[in-house]
């Protein structure tokens, strides 16, 4: 976890790697869990940032930078996707262990 030069908080989350009962494709989806990716959130809730999409794990303590890559998407990998179900916190996905790539 670290703050970028843009002032946003970046958080890396590992992929469960088949150890978890979660779906094995969880790190390839933008409408499920946050595993296997990097989140980018606005902890200061600056003007222009958006509220996160509704989800049981979401709080009102942060906002989403409007230019996060999955904000407003209606398709993903060629298939339609409900924009309300997208985990807009995601900045990058499909990573096994993002922290290991930084160290």
Model confidence over 28-45: pLDDT tens digits? 788 877 878 899 999 999
Per-residue tokens: 48: 């222009």
Whether 3 has a pLDDT exceeding 80, the answer reads: yes
Whether 22 has a pLDDT exceeding 60, the answer reads: no
Per-residue model confidence (pLDDT) at position 27: 67
Closest to 4 in 3D by CA, of 53, 34, 39: 39
pLDDT digits over 46-98, tens only? 999 999 999 888 888 999 999 999 999 999 989 999 999 999 999 998 777 66
pTM: 0.83
Q: How many independent structural domains does the chain possess?
A: 1
Domain that holds residue 88: 1-103
Per-residue model confidence (pLDDT) at position 103: 40
The H or E element containing residue 102 is helix 98-102
Closest to 83 in 3D by CA, of 93, 65, 71, 91: 71
CA distance from start to end of the chain = 12
């Amino acid at each position: 976890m670290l703050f970028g030069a843009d002032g946003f908080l970046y958080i890396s989350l590992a992929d469960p790697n088949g150890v978890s009962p979660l779906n094995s494709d969880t790190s390839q989806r933008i409408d499920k869990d946050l595993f296997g990716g990097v989140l980018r959130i606005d902890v200061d809730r600056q003007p222009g940032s958006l509220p996160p999409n509704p989800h049981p794990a979401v709080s009102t303590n942060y906002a989403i930078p409007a230019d996060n890559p999955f904000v407003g998407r209606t398709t993903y990998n060629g298939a339609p996707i409900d924009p309300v179900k997208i985990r807009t916190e995601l900045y990058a996905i499909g990573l096994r262990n993002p922290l290991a790539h930084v160290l």
